[in-house]
Structure 1
Amino acid sequence: NIPWTSTPDNDCLGVGAGAAPTVPAGKSCTLGAVNVAAGGALTWFADQNSTAIAGFNGYSRTVRITNCAVTACSGINDSAMRLVAVAVTFQPLTSTSTAAAAKTVTVSMYISQR
Structure 2
Amino acid sequence: MAQTMENESKRTEAGKKNRIQEKVGKLGNDIDTLAKKTGDEASKLAKNINTEIKSISDEIKSIDVKDEVKSITARVEKLVDATGDSAKKLASEIKTDVKKMVDKIEVPITKKK
Using structure 1 for the length normalisation, give the TM-score.
Answer: 0.28
- Name the one with the larger strand percent: 1
TM-score, scaled to structure 2: 0.28
Does 1 or 2 have the higher relative contact order (CA < 8 Å, sep 6+)? 2
